[in-house]
Structure 1
Amino acid sequence: MIAACAPAAFAATPASGAHAHEQAAGSPALRLDHGRKWATDAPLRQGMARIRGLVAPQLAAAHGGRLEPADYAALATKIDAEVAAIVKDCRLPPEADGVLHVVLGELLAGTGTLAGRTAGATPVDGLVQVVAAVNTYGRYFEHPGWKPLAEAH
Structure 2
Amino acid sequence: MKTTLTVLLSAFALAASTGVHAAERADHPHHGEGGADVQKLELNAGRKWATDAPLRQAMSDINRAMTEAVPLIRKDQLDAAAYQALAATVKQKVAYAVEHCKLEPRADAMLHVLLADLMAGAEAMEGKTGHPRREGALQVLQALDAYGRYFQHAGWQAPPR
TM-based fold match above 0.5: yes
Structure 2 gap ranges (5+): 27-35
Per the TM alignment, residue 67 of structure 1 is displaced from its structure 2 partner at its CA by: 1.3
CA shift for structure 1 position 28:
4.3
In 1, are the aligned partners of 2:49 and 2:151 still within 8 Å (CA)?
A: yes
Pairing 1:130–2:144 present? no
2:50 aligned partner: 39
SS in structure 2 of the partner of residue 15 of structure 1: helix
8 Å CA contact retained: 2:121, 2:138: yes
Q: Which residue of 1 aligns with 2:123?
A: 112
Q: Residue by residue, what CA displacement relative to the aligned partner does 1:26-72 show, whole Å, maximum 9, x if unpaired? A: 23431111111001000000110000001001010122333111110
Between 97-106 and 9-18, the greater mean CA deviation after superposition = 9-18
TM-aligned CA deviation for residue 73 of structure 1: 1.1
Distance in 2, Cα, partners of 1:81 & 1:16: 17
Question: Aligned residue for 2:111?
Answer: 100
The answer to whether residue 58 in structure 2 is matched with residue 56 in structure 1 is no
SS in 2 for 1:55: helix
On the 8 A contact 2:22/2:112 being kept in 1, the answer is no
CA contact (8 A) 1:110 1:127 kept: yes
Counterpart-to-counterpart distance in 1, 2:139 and 2:118: 7
1:22 aligns with 2:20: no
Q: Deviations over 1:52-97 (max 9, x none)?
A: 0010010101223331111101110111000000000000000000
What's the RMSD between the two structures over aligned residues? Answer: 2.0
Is this contact kept in 1: 2:76–2:134, CA < 8 A? no
Matches of residues 70-81 of structure 1 in structure 2 within 5 Å? 70-81=81-92
SS in 2 for 1:16: helix
1:66/1:34 Cα in 2 relative to 1: closer, same or farther (>3 Å)? same
Segments of structure 1 that go 5 or more residues without pairing to the other structure are 1-6
Is the contact between residue 12 and residue 22 of structure 2 (CA under 8 Å) also seen in structure 1?
no
Aligned length: 144
Letter of the 1:38 partner, please give it.
W
CA apart distance, 1:129: 0.3
Equivalent in the alignment of 1:142: 152
Q: State the percentage of identical aligned residues.
A: 40
Residue type of the alignment partner of 1:22: E
Normalised by the length of structure 1, the TM-score is 0.85
Contact 1:14 1:84 in 2 (8 A): no
In structure 2, distance between residues paired with 1:99 and 1:86: 13
Q: Is the 8 A contact 1:111 1:126 kept in 2?
A: yes
